[in-house]
Copies of this chain bind each other. A is one copy, B any other.
Amino acid sequence: MAVTLVSSNRSFKGRQFVYKHASTTTQCDMTFGVYIPDHETDEKRPALFYLSGLTCTHANFMEKSGFQQYASKYRFIVVHPDTSPRGVDVEGDSDSWDFGKGAGFYVNATVEKWAKNYRMYDYIVKELLEDVVPKVAPIDAARVGIFGHSMGGHGAITIGLRNPSKFKSISAFAPICNPITVPWGQKALAGYLGDDQSTWQQYDASEILKAYTGPCRIILIDQGAADNFLEQLKPETLKDTNHAGVIVRMQPEFDHSYYFIATFMEDHFEHHAKHFRSI
């Protein structure tokens, strides 16, 4: 399956690429960005997957977070996919900003209408990580971490904890931590998975964390204390257990924007770097 270059820009000591490919998982063209630091031929580099929030494409993070500076410094590959299928129209996919296009919620939909395309969980965990990215970037599969913002923070924690052999470190900015109890999550999970709430728990960070028995994970979470969406995010529902710890840092005055994300970006790179060093 061909992966086509969309753009390439020199940025710090590396390059910011955008690629497009026909996805077998979502049955449509998917666009993603990847930053690749300068490296020796045949040198493999650690990688971070960054999952974006509601309404974002691959581009917001690339243009607004300033992450390239740290990807260059730490010499990490950083992969940032889109937040939903785009190259296909499903009736109702553009009716609201928190469902459908730009709002895939990193689940595999089971409701028939959405089930063919809205498979962002498998797209990230299988196709993008295992098949597509290795064609364009020299990732060291043993050192891959995952992080994200808001809906993408939800994606990072759920995907990370459910796939500890693939993702060795996890962090998030203002993640949706307990979607089964809040409007954003309830709307998305009911829409994509149907009304049987027992199927929702596999996509709920707090529930997954409670049941988690995999290798030890310490999850760094930054949360703006002045975030208007705090009631939808509920970081207090993430509880430490004997298998995983959660460091929640409430950041006074910060909101939900990329200004917040950019401010604490370096700390997240350091978090992942620290965990990679111990592998």
User: Does the CB pair A224–B262 fall under 8 Å?
Assistant: no
Query: Which of A63, A66, A253, A259 has the most B CB atoms < 10 Å from its CB?
Result: A259
Pairs across A and B, CB under 8 Å, 22 listed: A9-B255, A9-B257, A9-B259, A9-B260, A10-B224, A10-B226, A10-B254, A10-B259, A10-B260, A10-B263, A11-B259, A11-B260, A11-B262, A11-B263, A63-B63, A63-B258, A64-B64, A66-B66, A66-B69, A66-B262, A68-B263, A69-B263
Distance (Å) between the CB of A261 and the closest chain B CB?
Answer: 10
Docked complex Cα distance between A63 and B11 (Å): 16
Of the four ranges (under 10, 10 to 19, 20 to 34, 35 or more), the interface on chain A belongs to 20 to 34
Cβ of A97 < 8 Å from any Cβ of B?
Answer: no
* Nearest B-chain residue to A263, judged by Cβ: B12
| A66 partner residues in chain B, CB cutoff 8 A | 66, 69, 262
A64: chain B residues at CB < 8 Å are 63-64
Instruction: A59 to B63: give the CA distance in the assembly, Å.
Output: 12
Q: Kindly provide the distance from the CB of A263 to the nearest chain B CB, expressed in whole angstroms.
A: 5
* Min CB gap A79→B, angstroms: 17
Closest partner residue, chain B, to A258 (CB atom):
B63
Closest approach, in angstroms, between the C-beta of A80 and any C-beta of chain B? 14
Within 8 A of B (CB), among A221-279: 224, 226, 253-255, 257-260, 262-263
